[in-house]
Amino acid sequence: MSENGDNRERVFRGIAASEGVCQGKLIVLHKPDDDVPHRTISQDEISDEIKRFEKALAQTRQDIREVQEKVSSAMDANEAGIFDAHLLVLEDPSLIDEAIRVLKKDTVNIEQAFHRALEKYTATLAAVDDAYLRERVSDMRDVGARVMDNLTGRNNEDFLDALTEPAIVVCHEMPPSVTASLGDKEVLGIATDIGGTTSHTAIMARSLGIPAVSGLVDISQRVATGDFALLDGYTGTVTVDPCEQTQFEYGLLIRRKQDLAEKLDELRDKPATTLDGHRITLSANIEHPSDAQLVKEYGGEGVGLFRTEYLFIHRDTLPSEEEQFEAYARVARELKPSPVIIRTLDLGGDKFMSHLRVPEEMNPFLGWRAIRFCLEEQEIFRAQLRAILRASVHGDVRMMYPMISGVGEMDQANALVEECKAELRSEGLDFNPDIEIGAMIEIPSAVMVADNLAKRAKFFSIGTNDLIQYSLAVDRMNEKIAHLYRPTHPAIMTFVRMTIEASARNGGWTGVCGEMAHDPTLAVLLLGLGAEELSVAAPSIPKIKYLIRNLDLGAARKLAAEALQCESAAEILEKATEFAKQSLPDLYTEAD
Ligand code: PEP
Ligand code: MG
């Protein structure tokens, strides 16, 4: 953070997570468990507090049983046992007695007493040299959070309830399930302590066209609700109490961006063809069926990535096959005859279902995620495959699997698709038997066996967000190492090229649906390397269409060939930036 002269302006620098500029009042949101209510009570209130506690424990028991019933059909006995362990925590007299002892001794409200008891108890367990007991710590924290929700009457879904007027939301971290409900709220901008440019919260903000800055370290502790601020999602800064000069400069910037937006709007119905006549497919990444409308508004050619996991999170039950079928068919119908590529479920990493309590993992991005989860949770996977197949007669529906690491997963998934087709046939339900199936290329091992994968997939879609994360061993969520997350690293250039060559050798095609595609400088490199499709958040389509229509692909190919000879990420970025600024000066401001 920096202070500017005698004026009160304070500038916080973070990572530009979603483009755009906004100004307004800040609202600082804390997760319910961040601020445990604290109140001193009188002796007379003790029995009422104990009654409240008993009521919250009973309610928590009921909640856990309900969730257990809802998900038991989708889990095996071992996993459903998690809930039994949670119920046992609630029966544990030592925790409950300790909370009541603290309540009486410290004469504080029960939330505070329970919090103190839980902290003491979990700290003791965590210190014991016994793996089983240490595992109980996460059960206790889970159950503790539920009890606290019931005591305070708040829960995660209420996270945004404090937002009653348009404001810039500041928080430590915004879970994707919460970001998913932002579209219904008047959020001017988002500023978070943690996260990078490819966290799912940043991706969602871009889809919604909400400016966002992440990786601001401790902004949630250093600003207060009601402060006035300017958030710049281009440079990744938040300026609190901006001085007149800063406001004036931002006024100019906003006007320039508006002029550009108007110019880009004229391209909506024009094709994405380069100056030298190459037709590129420019499609959209969507998260909700209702986003199909946005794809049309921004002039996209169908959907290159439908992140279906948003149908699964932020709710208490699994979506049925029927509900999924309706969602997929709706998008297919609305965008017909353009293609709609539905990605099968990619849960895990930073996206979880609140009701499917998957065990906590040390490295969720390297863990039980995406196709790995689906190949084990076959009931969930089959319902989705059947829904996609059934939707395939309503438009040009295609599908792709996330996180493929080798041919084994591809073969297993394809075999399940064949089984689902046979089932549908015997049930007399319609589907497109020739539905195109592709693989996402997001893991270095997949690149290395891309020829073999290409024999099993009609197309590849490169998920650069994960490909960069896994190739460079840089957690895409961790702002501390965000400077190491280098899309122009020579290894990434080579991986992209190898993938494209392998699919071409086998008669397939390759697109890119990672966030690299929405950055004009990087998009030039991807096109030069041979990407035939770019899929970006709908609001980024006009900008990338403008780029394509003003690009000489022959020159971009030369640039890519040079990049493949370079030794450092910085050198490649410099060459690409120079090229893009020369070809497309309008897309850049002096600050870029
Ligand atoms: C990617 O990894 O680039 C991708 C598009 O998938 P996601 O961001 O949903 O992991
Ligand atoms: Mg991915």
Is residue 21 a contact partner of residue 234, using CB atoms and an 8 Å limit?
A: yes
The question of whether 513 is a catalytic residue gets the answer yes
Q: Residue 513 CA: which ligand 1 atom is closest?
A: 5
Q: What is the C-alpha separation between 215 and 191, in angstroms, rounded?
A: 8
In terms of pTM, does the model score above 0.85? no
* Per-position pLDDT tens, the chain of length 592: 655 555 789 999 999 999 999 999 998 886 544 567 778 889 988 999 999 999 999 988 888 887 667 656 554 555 566 677 778 888 888 889 999 999 999 999 998 999 999 888 888 877 777 766 766 776 787 788 788 878 876 654 456 666 778 899 998 887 665 676 676 678 999 999 988 788 777 888 888 889 999 999 889 888 888 899 999 999 999 999 999 999 999 998 888 888 888 888 889 899 999 999 999 999 999 999 999 999 999 999 999 999 999 898 867 688 999 999 999 999 999 999 999 999 999 988 777 665 565 667 788 889 889 999 999 999 999 999 999 999 999 999 999 999 999 999 999 999 999 999 999 999 999 999 999 999 999 999 999 999 999 999 999 999 999 999 999 999 988 888 889 999 999 999 999 999 999 999 999 999 999 999 999 999 999 999 999 999 999 999 999 999 999 999 999 999 999 999 999 999 999 999 999 998 887 777 544 5
Q: What is the C-alpha separation between 47 and 26, in angstroms, rounded?
A: 40
Is residue 168 a contact partner of residue 25, using CB atoms and an 8 Å limit?
A: yes
Q: 511 CB under 6 A from ligand 1?
A: no
Q: What is the C-alpha separation between 487 and 197, in angstroms, rounded?
A: 11
Q: 308 CB under 6 A from ligand 1?
A: no
Alpha carbon 204 to chain centroid, angstroms: 6
Is residue 413 a contact partner of residue 439, using CB atoms and an 8 Å limit?
A: no
DSSP 449: T
Percent of the chain that is helix, strand, coil (3-state, to 5): 55, 15, 30
Residue with CA nearest ligand 1 atom 9:
307
The question of whether 243 is a catalytic residue gets the answer no
Catalytic-labelled residue, pool 200, 288, 489, 518: 200
Q: What is the C-alpha separation between 453 and 9, in angstroms, rounded?
A: 55
Give pLDDT, residue 452: 98
Give pLDDT, residue 457: 98
Residue of 465, 518, 522 with the most ligand 1 atoms within 8 Å of its CB, for mutation? 465
Q: 466 CB under 6 A from ligand 1?
A: yes
Give pLDDT, residue 73: 57
Q: Which residues contact 424 (CB under 8 A, 6 or more apart)?
A: 386, 389, 390, 430, 431
Q: 487 CB under 6 A from ligand 1?
A: no
Q: Is 247 exposed, middle or buried (0-12, 13-18, 19+ CB in 10 A)?
A: middle
SS3 string, 488-521, reads: CCHHHHHHHHHHHHHHHHCCCEEEECCHHHHCHH
Give pLDDT, residue 35: 67
Nearest to 513 by CA among 450, 455, 466: 466
